[in-house]
Structure 1
């Protein structure tokens, strides 16, 4: 059972996020969704990402035992999503598809769109080493 967040967990989240961020980031459809989806849909996508992260973390990583570890449970979800968003941003930057200077809103939207599947990859890989 995980009682803390360590460098091994961080590495697993980075690998899992990268595994799904790369193929989706190469997709022109994902780039265009980042440009065209209305804000309400993007917020819904962000919410779904966090909800699925929360459910999977609760069920698989913490095995429904969070009473004495609520803070680390919430922290793990936040860290996993932020690390995933960083990985997605890095991949998009490498592909020259992260227009932070010219169009920061589109850049943020692309990160949100691609972070949904990437965050699930991140948390699934993180759960592989349950004790």
Structure 2
């Protein structure tokens, strides 16, 4: 099993993130939650997302064998979450719900909230052809 990251992996992550982000990005609740959710809860959402993505990648993509590939393991998680944030931002931008210039903090908060489920969809789709 080759776990080198390539454009196919990036495409799979983007498609998985898009599939999970799309229905949530249309939600008024998600838009409003970004304004009123405390910052500590947003930080916890990011950490929870990263923990679940790492857990899934560890057992599915890497099949528990990361002893000599910690760099690849961590890089894959960071790249997957980064691509997810970009995809979510693009979706929100298309919906005119990413106020980057007017309210950049709200824009980032919306992206983080929607990236939580989207990151799981991203890593799951990425793992589909690895078995």
Which band: TM-score by shorter chain?
over 0.9
**Residue 63 (1) aligns with residue 32 (2):** no
- Partner Cα separation in structure 2 for residue 2 and residue 62 of structure 1: 10
Structure 1's unaligned 5+ residue stretches are: none
The reply on whether 1:124 has 2:127 as its aligned counterpart is no
Extract unaligned runs of 5+ from structure 2.
none
TM-score by length of 2: 0.98
Question: Once the 2 structures are TM-superposed, how far is the Cα of residue 3 of structure 1 from its aligned partner?
Answer: 2.6
Secondary structure at the counterpart of residue 101 of structure 1:
coil
Deviation at 1:14, TM superposition (A): 0.4
Q: Secondary structure at the match of 1:42?
A: helix
- The DSSP-based 3-state class of the residue aligned with 1:67 is coil
| Cross-structure match for 2:14 | 14
Over residues 56-77 of structure 1, what are the superposed CA-to-partner deviations in whole Å (9 max), with x where a residue is unaligned? 0001111001111110100000
Say how many residue pairs are matched. 131
Deviation of 1:35 after TM superposition, in Å, equals 1.0
Verify the 8 A CA contact 1:5 1:76 in the aligned structure 2.
Answer: yes
8 A Cα contact 1:3 1:69, kept in partner? no
Partner of 2:110 in structure 1? Answer: 110
Shift of 1:130: 1.0
CA distance in 1, matches of 2:20, 2:3: 26
TM-align CA RMSD: 0.7
Q: TM-score, normalised by structure 1?
A: 0.98
Alpha-carbon displacement from aligned partner over 1:9-65 (angstroms, at most 9, x marks no partner):
001000000000110100011101111101000000110000001000001111001
